[in-house]
Structure 1
Amino acid sequence: MKSATLAILRCPFCGGRLELVESSFHRIDADSGEIADAILGCHCCVFPVVAGIPVMHLDPAAVAAREAIEAGRPEHAARGMFALDDEAQAARFEEMAASPAATFRDLVDALGPAFEGGYFLYRFSDPTYVVADAVVRAVAGTVLREGGRAIDVCGGLGHLTRSLLDLSSPAPVLADLSFAKLWLARRFTAPGCEPVCCDGNAPLPFAKDAFGLVVCSDAFHYI
Protein backbone atom coordinates (compact mmCIF):
# COMPACT_ATOMS: atom_id res chain seq x y z
CA MET A 1 0.00 0.00 0.00
CA LYS A 2 1.36 3.39 -1.01
CA SER A 3 1.56 6.25 1.47
CA ALA A 4 -0.68 8.25 -0.88
CA THR A 5 -3.41 5.67 -0.33
CA LEU A 6 -3.06 5.94 3.43
CA ALA A 7 -3.57 9.69 3.06
CA ILE A 8 -7.07 9.22 1.60
CA LEU A 9 -8.19 6.38 3.88
CA ARG A 10 -10.70 7.13 6.63
CA CYS A 11 -12.27 4.98 9.32
CA PRO A 12 -15.66 3.75 8.00
CA PHE A 13 -17.12 4.09 11.51
CA CYS A 14 -15.94 7.46 12.82
CA GLY A 15 -14.61 9.06 9.63
CA GLY A 16 -11.29 9.80 11.31
CA ARG A 17 -7.87 9.77 9.70
CA LEU A 18 -5.81 6.61 9.98
CA GLU A 19 -2.17 6.33 10.94
CA LEU A 20 0.37 3.55 10.97
CA VAL A 21 0.58 2.03 14.46
CA GLU A 22 4.35 2.00 14.68
CA SER A 23 4.39 0.25 18.06
CA SER A 24 2.83 -2.83 16.45
CA PHE A 25 4.44 -5.28 14.01
CA HIS A 26 4.88 -3.77 10.57
CA ARG A 27 6.84 -4.36 7.38
CA ILE A 28 7.66 -1.54 4.96
CA ASP A 29 9.55 -1.98 1.70
CA ALA A 30 12.88 -0.21 2.11
CA ASP A 31 13.08 0.82 -1.55
CA SER A 32 9.51 1.88 -2.39
CA GLY A 33 8.30 2.82 1.09
CA GLU A 34 5.12 0.82 0.50
CA ILE A 35 3.43 -0.78 3.49
CA ALA A 36 3.39 -4.58 3.20
CA ASP A 37 1.93 -5.69 6.55
CA ALA A 38 0.90 -3.39 9.38
CA ILE A 39 -1.83 -2.09 11.65
CA LEU A 40 -3.66 1.16 10.90
CA GLY A 41 -5.56 2.95 13.65
CA CYS A 42 -7.78 5.91 14.44
CA HIS A 43 -9.18 6.85 17.85
CA CYS A 44 -11.90 4.14 17.71
CA CYS A 45 -10.68 1.23 15.56
CA VAL A 46 -7.66 -0.64 14.26
CA PHE A 47 -7.43 -2.32 10.85
CA PRO A 48 -4.83 -4.65 9.31
CA VAL A 49 -2.83 -4.20 6.15
CA VAL A 50 -2.30 -7.70 4.75
CA ALA A 51 0.07 -8.34 1.83
CA GLY A 52 -0.11 -4.64 0.98
CA ILE A 53 -3.91 -4.47 1.01
CA PRO A 54 -5.68 -2.44 3.73
CA VAL A 55 -8.63 -4.38 5.16
CA MET A 56 -11.16 -1.75 6.22
CA HIS A 57 -13.90 -3.80 7.81
CA LEU A 58 -14.40 -5.80 11.00
CA ASP A 59 -15.65 -9.13 9.69
CA PRO A 60 -14.32 -12.14 11.66
CA ALA A 61 -11.60 -12.88 9.09
CA ALA A 62 -10.38 -9.28 9.29
CA VAL A 63 -10.30 -9.34 13.09
CA ALA A 64 -8.33 -12.60 13.02
CA ALA A 65 -5.96 -11.11 10.45
CA ARG A 66 -5.41 -8.07 12.64
CA GLU A 67 -4.59 -10.30 15.60
CA ALA A 68 -2.15 -12.31 13.47
CA ILE A 69 -0.39 -9.14 12.30
CA GLU A 70 -0.18 -7.87 15.87
CA ALA A 71 1.40 -11.21 16.82
CA GLY A 72 3.98 -10.83 14.05
CA ARG A 73 2.50 -13.61 11.90
CA PRO A 74 1.62 -11.97 8.57
CA GLU A 75 1.56 -15.30 6.73
CA HIS A 76 -1.30 -16.45 8.98
CA ALA A 77 -3.11 -13.18 8.38
CA ALA A 78 -2.91 -13.78 4.63
CA ARG A 79 -4.10 -17.37 4.94
CA GLY A 80 -7.14 -16.21 6.86
CA MET A 81 -8.02 -13.52 4.33
CA PHE A 82 -7.67 -16.03 1.49
CA ALA A 83 -9.88 -18.46 3.47
CA LEU A 84 -7.16 -21.12 3.27
CA ASP A 85 -8.05 -23.21 6.30
CA ASP A 86 -6.53 -26.45 5.04
CA GLU A 87 -2.79 -26.63 5.70
CA ALA A 88 -1.98 -28.56 2.52
CA GLN A 89 -4.06 -26.25 0.34
CA ALA A 90 -2.50 -23.18 1.95
CA ALA A 91 1.00 -24.53 1.32
CA ARG A 92 0.18 -25.24 -2.33
CA PHE A 93 -1.22 -21.77 -2.83
CA GLU A 94 1.74 -20.08 -1.17
CA GLU A 95 4.18 -22.07 -3.30
CA MET A 96 2.24 -21.11 -6.41
CA ALA A 97 1.98 -17.47 -5.38
CA ALA A 98 5.74 -17.28 -4.87
CA SER A 99 6.39 -18.40 -8.44
CA PRO A 100 6.67 -15.59 -11.01
CA ALA A 101 5.65 -18.13 -13.65
CA ALA A 102 2.26 -18.81 -12.02
CA THR A 103 -0.71 -17.79 -14.14
CA PHE A 104 -4.09 -16.37 -13.19
CA ARG A 105 -5.67 -19.76 -13.85
CA ASP A 106 -3.04 -21.51 -11.71
CA LEU A 107 -3.81 -19.35 -8.70
CA VAL A 108 -7.58 -19.47 -9.17
CA ASP A 109 -7.34 -23.27 -9.22
CA ALA A 110 -5.09 -23.22 -6.13
CA LEU A 111 -7.71 -21.24 -4.20
CA GLY A 112 -10.05 -24.19 -4.58
CA PRO A 113 -13.60 -24.78 -5.81
CA ALA A 114 -15.12 -22.50 -3.16
CA PHE A 115 -13.54 -19.47 -4.81
CA GLU A 116 -15.68 -17.77 -7.44
CA GLY A 117 -13.03 -17.69 -10.13
CA GLY A 118 -14.07 -19.73 -13.14
CA TYR A 119 -16.53 -17.12 -14.37
CA PHE A 120 -13.83 -14.46 -14.42
CA LEU A 121 -11.50 -16.51 -16.64
CA TYR A 122 -13.59 -15.40 -19.62
CA ARG A 123 -14.67 -11.97 -18.42
CA PHE A 124 -12.78 -9.98 -21.06
CA SER A 125 -14.85 -11.64 -23.82
CA ASP A 126 -18.17 -11.34 -21.97
CA PRO A 127 -20.58 -9.07 -23.90
CA THR A 128 -21.58 -7.27 -20.69
CA TYR A 129 -17.92 -6.43 -20.05
CA VAL A 130 -17.31 -5.23 -23.61
CA VAL A 131 -20.20 -2.76 -23.31
CA ALA A 132 -19.22 -1.63 -19.80
CA ASP A 133 -15.59 -1.14 -20.86
CA ALA A 134 -16.61 1.17 -23.71
CA VAL A 135 -18.91 3.20 -21.46
CA VAL A 136 -16.38 3.50 -18.63
CA ARG A 137 -13.60 4.60 -21.00
CA ALA A 138 -15.83 7.22 -22.61
CA VAL A 139 -17.10 8.64 -19.32
CA ALA A 140 -13.73 8.55 -17.57
CA GLY A 141 -12.01 10.11 -20.55
CA THR A 142 -14.35 13.09 -20.24
CA VAL A 143 -14.69 13.42 -16.47
CA LEU A 144 -10.99 12.93 -15.75
CA ARG A 145 -9.71 14.96 -18.68
CA GLU A 146 -8.15 17.51 -16.34
CA GLY A 147 -6.90 14.85 -13.94
CA GLY A 148 -8.31 13.15 -10.86
CA ARG A 149 -8.45 9.74 -9.26
CA ALA A 150 -11.09 7.12 -10.04
CA ILE A 151 -12.46 4.38 -7.80
CA ASP A 152 -14.08 1.15 -8.96
CA VAL A 153 -16.54 0.19 -6.19
CA CYS A 154 -17.34 -3.51 -5.86
CA GLY A 155 -14.86 -3.94 -8.70
CA GLY A 156 -14.13 -7.62 -8.07
CA LEU A 157 -11.15 -8.83 -10.05
CA GLY A 158 -10.51 -5.40 -11.53
CA HIS A 159 -11.50 -5.87 -15.15
CA LEU A 160 -12.99 -2.37 -15.37
CA THR A 161 -10.29 -1.00 -13.09
CA ARG A 162 -7.91 -2.01 -15.86
CA SER A 163 -9.85 0.30 -18.18
CA LEU A 164 -9.15 3.18 -15.79
CA LEU A 165 -5.40 2.67 -15.41
CA ASP A 166 -4.46 5.09 -18.20
CA LEU A 167 -7.19 7.59 -17.35
CA SER A 168 -6.91 7.99 -13.57
CA SER A 169 -4.16 10.06 -12.02
CA PRO A 170 -3.14 9.01 -9.38
CA ALA A 171 -3.73 5.30 -10.01
CA PRO A 172 -7.33 4.11 -9.58
CA VAL A 173 -8.52 2.51 -6.37
CA LEU A 174 -10.17 -0.92 -6.60
CA ALA A 175 -12.57 -1.49 -3.71
CA ASP A 176 -14.16 -4.86 -2.99
CA LEU A 177 -15.05 -7.09 -0.05
CA SER A 178 -13.18 -10.10 -1.49
CA PHE A 179 -9.53 -9.99 -0.46
CA ALA A 180 -8.58 -12.79 -2.87
CA LYS A 181 -10.06 -10.96 -5.85
CA LEU A 182 -8.20 -7.78 -4.95
CA TRP A 183 -4.92 -9.64 -4.61
CA LEU A 184 -5.38 -11.34 -7.98
CA ALA A 185 -6.42 -8.07 -9.63
CA ARG A 186 -3.30 -6.29 -8.44
CA ARG A 187 -1.08 -9.10 -9.74
CA PHE A 188 -2.80 -9.92 -13.04
CA THR A 189 -5.85 -7.97 -14.14
CA ALA A 190 -5.08 -4.39 -13.13
CA PRO A 191 -1.44 -4.14 -12.03
CA GLY A 192 -0.76 -0.67 -10.74
CA CYS A 193 -4.17 -0.17 -9.13
CA GLU A 194 -4.54 0.50 -5.41
CA PRO A 195 -6.68 -2.29 -3.86
CA VAL A 196 -8.70 -1.63 -0.70
CA CYS A 197 -10.75 -4.35 1.00
CA CYS A 198 -13.98 -2.82 2.28
CA ASP A 199 -17.73 -3.41 2.52
CA GLY A 200 -19.85 -1.53 -0.01
CA ASN A 201 -22.82 -1.78 2.37
CA ALA A 202 -20.97 0.36 4.94
CA PRO A 203 -19.68 3.93 4.61
CA LEU A 204 -16.75 3.80 2.22
CA PRO A 205 -13.43 4.34 4.03
CA PHE A 206 -12.21 7.32 2.03
CA ALA A 207 -11.93 11.08 2.33
CA LYS A 208 -14.89 12.89 0.78
CA ASP A 209 -12.84 14.69 -1.86
CA ALA A 210 -10.62 11.74 -2.77
CA PHE A 211 -12.13 10.89 -6.17
CA GLY A 212 -13.10 12.61 -9.36
CA LEU A 213 -15.01 9.59 -10.65
CA VAL A 214 -16.81 6.70 -8.97
CA VAL A 215 -17.61 3.60 -11.03
CA CYS A 216 -19.88 0.72 -10.00
CA SER A 217 -20.82 -1.84 -12.63
CA ASP A 218 -22.74 -5.12 -12.31
CA ALA A 219 -22.80 -4.77 -8.52
CA PHE A 220 -25.76 -2.59 -7.53
CA HIS A 221 -27.73 -5.68 -6.53
CA TYR A 222 -25.08 -6.43 -3.89
CA ILE A 223 -25.21 -3.08 -2.10
Structure 2
Amino acid sequence: MAGGITDTGELYSPYVGLVYMFNLIVGTGALTMPKAFATAGWLVSLVLLMFLGFMSYMTTTFVVEAMAAANAQLRWKRMEKRKEDDEDEDSSSGVSDSDVLLQDGYERAETRPILSVQRRGSPNIFEITERVEMGQMASMFFNKVGVNLFYFCIIIYLYGDLAIYAAAVPVSLMQVTCVTGNRSCSVGDGTKYNDTDRCWGPIRRIDAYRLYLVSF
Protein backbone atom coordinates (compact mmCIF):
# COMPACT_ATOMS: atom_id res chain seq x y z
CA MET A 1 0.00 0.00 0.00
CA ALA A 2 1.12 3.54 -0.62
CA GLY A 3 2.71 4.95 2.47
CA GLY A 4 3.11 1.59 4.18
CA ILE A 5 6.25 1.29 6.31
CA THR A 6 8.49 -1.67 5.60
CA ASP A 7 11.12 -3.30 7.80
CA THR A 8 13.79 -1.06 6.32
CA GLY A 9 11.70 2.07 6.90
CA GLU A 10 11.20 2.70 3.19
CA LEU A 11 8.10 4.51 1.97
CA TYR A 12 6.40 4.85 -1.35
CA SER A 13 6.94 8.38 -2.55
CA PRO A 14 3.87 10.61 -3.01
CA TYR A 15 4.50 10.54 -6.76
CA VAL A 16 4.35 6.71 -6.83
CA GLY A 17 1.18 6.79 -4.73
CA LEU A 18 -0.36 9.29 -7.16
CA VAL A 19 0.50 7.05 -10.10
CA TYR A 20 -1.12 4.08 -8.35
CA MET A 21 -4.30 6.04 -7.64
CA PHE A 22 -4.44 7.34 -11.20
CA ASN A 23 -4.01 3.82 -12.53
CA LEU A 24 -6.81 2.52 -10.31
CA ILE A 25 -9.20 5.25 -11.45
CA VAL A 26 -8.43 5.46 -15.17
CA GLY A 27 -7.33 1.86 -15.66
CA THR A 28 -10.80 0.56 -14.75
CA GLY A 29 -12.38 2.51 -17.60
CA ALA A 30 -14.09 5.15 -15.46
CA LEU A 31 -14.03 7.62 -18.35
CA THR A 32 -15.85 5.22 -20.68
CA MET A 33 -18.21 3.70 -18.09
CA PRO A 34 -21.09 6.17 -18.72
CA LYS A 35 -21.00 5.33 -22.41
CA ALA A 36 -21.01 1.61 -21.59
CA PHE A 37 -24.05 2.05 -19.31
CA ALA A 38 -25.85 4.04 -22.01
CA THR A 39 -25.18 1.37 -24.63
CA ALA A 40 -25.69 -1.85 -22.63
CA GLY A 41 -28.45 -0.67 -20.30
CA TRP A 42 -28.72 -0.49 -16.53
CA LEU A 43 -29.42 -4.17 -15.82
CA VAL A 44 -26.62 -5.75 -17.84
CA SER A 45 -24.15 -3.03 -16.81
CA LEU A 46 -24.89 -3.41 -13.09
CA VAL A 47 -24.67 -7.21 -13.25
CA LEU A 48 -21.34 -7.08 -15.04
CA LEU A 49 -20.07 -4.37 -12.71
CA MET A 50 -20.91 -6.44 -9.61
CA PHE A 51 -19.35 -9.54 -11.15
CA LEU A 52 -16.14 -7.68 -11.98
CA GLY A 53 -16.10 -6.17 -8.49
CA PHE A 54 -16.35 -9.67 -6.99
CA MET A 55 -13.53 -10.92 -9.22
CA SER A 56 -11.40 -7.93 -8.19
CA TYR A 57 -12.03 -8.77 -4.54
CA MET A 58 -11.02 -12.39 -5.11
CA THR A 59 -7.81 -11.50 -6.94
CA THR A 60 -6.95 -8.97 -4.21
CA THR A 61 -7.25 -11.66 -1.54
CA PHE A 62 -5.02 -13.93 -3.64
CA VAL A 63 -2.37 -11.20 -3.85
CA VAL A 64 -2.57 -10.60 -0.09
CA GLU A 65 -2.15 -14.34 0.56
CA ALA A 66 0.85 -14.44 -1.78
CA MET A 67 2.41 -11.47 0.03
CA ALA A 68 1.84 -13.19 3.38
CA ALA A 69 3.46 -16.39 2.08
CA ALA A 70 6.40 -14.37 0.73
CA ASN A 71 6.86 -12.63 4.08
CA ALA A 72 6.76 -15.99 5.84
CA GLN A 73 9.33 -17.47 3.49
CA LEU A 74 11.69 -14.52 3.87
CA ARG A 75 11.27 -14.53 7.66
CA TRP A 76 11.86 -18.28 7.81
CA LYS A 77 15.05 -17.99 5.78
CA ARG A 78 16.34 -15.28 8.10
CA MET A 79 15.50 -17.43 11.13
CA GLU A 80 17.34 -20.41 9.64
CA LYS A 81 20.36 -18.27 8.83
CA ARG A 82 20.39 -16.79 12.33
CA LYS A 83 20.13 -20.28 13.81
CA GLU A 84 23.07 -21.48 11.73
CA ASP A 85 25.13 -18.47 12.78
CA ASP A 86 24.29 -19.09 16.46
CA GLU A 87 25.25 -22.75 16.14
CA ASP A 88 28.57 -21.80 14.58
CA GLU A 89 29.27 -19.34 17.38
CA ASP A 90 28.32 -21.86 20.07
CA SER A 91 30.50 -24.56 18.56
CA SER A 92 33.46 -22.21 18.31
CA SER A 93 33.04 -20.94 21.88
CA GLY A 94 32.64 -24.41 23.38
CA VAL A 95 29.27 -23.71 25.00
CA SER A 96 26.81 -26.59 24.80
CA ASP A 97 23.20 -26.26 23.71
CA SER A 98 21.92 -27.39 27.09
CA ASP A 99 23.84 -24.59 28.84
CA VAL A 100 22.38 -22.04 26.46
CA LEU A 101 18.83 -23.34 26.99
CA LEU A 102 19.20 -23.38 30.77
CA GLN A 103 20.59 -19.86 30.84
CA ASP A 104 17.87 -18.59 28.52
CA GLY A 105 15.15 -20.26 30.57
CA TYR A 106 16.55 -18.83 33.80
CA GLU A 107 16.62 -15.30 32.38
CA ARG A 108 13.05 -15.57 31.15
CA ALA A 109 11.87 -16.90 34.52
CA GLU A 110 13.54 -14.03 36.34
CA THR A 111 12.04 -11.33 34.13
CA ARG A 112 8.53 -12.81 33.80
CA PRO A 113 5.91 -11.64 36.36
CA ILE A 114 4.84 -14.34 38.81
CA LEU A 115 1.12 -13.54 38.60
CA SER A 116 1.15 -12.82 34.91
CA VAL A 117 -2.05 -13.81 33.18
CA GLN A 118 -0.83 -12.93 29.71
CA ARG A 119 0.25 -15.77 27.51
CA ARG A 120 2.81 -15.18 24.91
CA GLY A 121 1.80 -16.68 21.63
CA SER A 122 4.23 -17.61 18.93
CA PRO A 123 4.76 -14.78 16.44
CA ASN A 124 2.79 -15.09 13.24
CA ILE A 125 5.31 -15.63 10.47
CA PHE A 126 2.64 -14.83 7.88
CA GLU A 127 2.23 -11.27 9.10
CA ILE A 128 2.91 -8.77 6.30
CA THR A 129 5.60 -6.51 7.69
CA GLU A 130 7.70 -5.77 4.62
CA ARG A 131 7.07 -4.86 1.03
CA VAL A 132 7.50 -7.67 -1.49
CA GLU A 133 7.03 -6.71 -5.13
CA MET A 134 5.22 -8.88 -7.64
CA GLY A 135 8.39 -9.70 -9.58
CA GLN A 136 10.14 -10.79 -6.40
CA MET A 137 7.23 -13.04 -5.45
CA ALA A 138 7.24 -14.57 -8.94
CA SER A 139 10.95 -15.40 -8.61
CA MET A 140 10.32 -16.91 -5.17
CA PHE A 141 7.39 -19.18 -6.09
CA PHE A 142 7.84 -19.94 -9.81
CA ASN A 143 10.50 -21.54 -11.93
CA LYS A 144 12.05 -19.86 -14.95
CA VAL A 145 9.09 -20.66 -17.21
CA GLY A 146 6.64 -19.34 -14.63
CA VAL A 147 8.61 -16.12 -14.19
CA ASN A 148 8.65 -15.56 -17.96
CA LEU A 149 4.89 -16.17 -18.14
CA PHE A 150 4.36 -13.76 -15.25
CA TYR A 151 6.23 -10.96 -17.00
CA PHE A 152 4.40 -11.76 -20.23
CA CYS A 153 1.08 -11.29 -18.41
CA ILE A 154 2.35 -8.02 -16.93
CA ILE A 155 3.28 -6.79 -20.40
CA ILE A 156 -0.18 -7.63 -21.74
CA TYR A 157 -1.77 -5.89 -18.75
CA LEU A 158 0.30 -2.74 -19.24
CA TYR A 159 -0.49 -2.77 -22.95
CA GLY A 160 -4.19 -2.89 -22.10
CA ASP A 161 -3.81 0.05 -19.72
CA LEU A 162 -1.96 2.07 -22.34
CA ALA A 163 -4.67 1.23 -24.89
CA ILE A 164 -7.32 2.53 -22.50
CA TYR A 165 -5.34 5.70 -21.86
CA ALA A 166 -4.71 6.29 -25.56
CA ALA A 167 -8.34 5.66 -26.50
CA ALA A 168 -10.30 7.18 -23.63
CA VAL A 169 -8.43 10.26 -22.44
CA PRO A 170 -7.42 11.95 -25.73
CA VAL A 171 -10.73 11.11 -27.38
CA SER A 172 -12.70 12.48 -24.44
CA LEU A 173 -10.66 15.69 -24.37
CA MET A 174 -11.01 16.08 -28.13
CA GLN A 175 -14.78 15.64 -28.01
CA VAL A 176 -15.15 18.14 -25.17
CA THR A 177 -12.88 20.86 -26.53
CA CYS A 178 -13.53 20.64 -30.25
CA VAL A 179 -16.30 23.06 -31.22
CA THR A 180 -17.96 23.39 -34.61
CA GLY A 181 -19.86 26.61 -34.77
CA ASN A 182 -21.93 26.91 -31.60
CA ARG A 183 -22.20 23.18 -30.96
CA SER A 184 -19.91 20.89 -29.03
CA CYS A 185 -18.45 17.93 -30.90
CA SER A 186 -19.86 15.38 -28.48
CA VAL A 187 -21.35 12.05 -29.40
CA GLY A 188 -24.38 12.61 -27.22
CA ASP A 189 -26.24 14.97 -29.60
CA GLY A 190 -26.56 12.32 -32.32
CA THR A 191 -24.37 14.21 -34.78
CA LYS A 192 -21.76 12.19 -36.61
CA TYR A 193 -18.34 13.73 -37.13
CA ASN A 194 -15.43 12.66 -39.25
CA ASP A 195 -11.79 12.81 -38.26
CA THR A 196 -11.18 15.33 -41.03
CA ASP A 197 -13.75 17.82 -39.68
CA ARG A 198 -12.42 21.11 -38.38
CA CYS A 199 -11.80 21.49 -34.68
CA TRP A 200 -10.03 24.84 -34.10
CA GLY A 201 -9.58 26.76 -37.28
CA PRO A 202 -7.23 24.82 -39.53
CA ILE A 203 -6.72 22.06 -36.96
CA ARG A 204 -8.73 18.92 -37.67
CA ARG A 205 -10.26 16.61 -35.09
CA ILE A 206 -7.67 13.93 -35.78
CA ASP A 207 -4.92 16.52 -35.27
CA ALA A 208 -6.44 17.56 -31.95
CA TYR A 209 -6.57 13.91 -30.91
CA ARG A 210 -2.89 13.49 -31.78
CA LEU A 211 -1.97 16.62 -29.84
CA TYR A 212 -3.81 15.37 -26.76
CA LEU A 213 -2.27 11.92 -27.17
CA VAL A 214 1.29 13.28 -27.32
CA SER A 215 0.67 15.69 -24.43
CA PHE A 216 -0.89 12.96 -22.31
Measured against the shorter chain, the TM-score band is under 0.3
Mark the structure with the bigger radius of gyration. 2
- The higher-RCO structure (CA 8 Å, 6+ apart) is 2
Instruction: Name the one with the larger helix percent.
Output: 2
Instruction: Name the one with the larger strand percent.
Output: 1
Please give the TM-score of this superposition, normalised by the length of structure 2.
0.22
Please give the TM-score of this superposition, normalised by the length of structure 1.
0.22
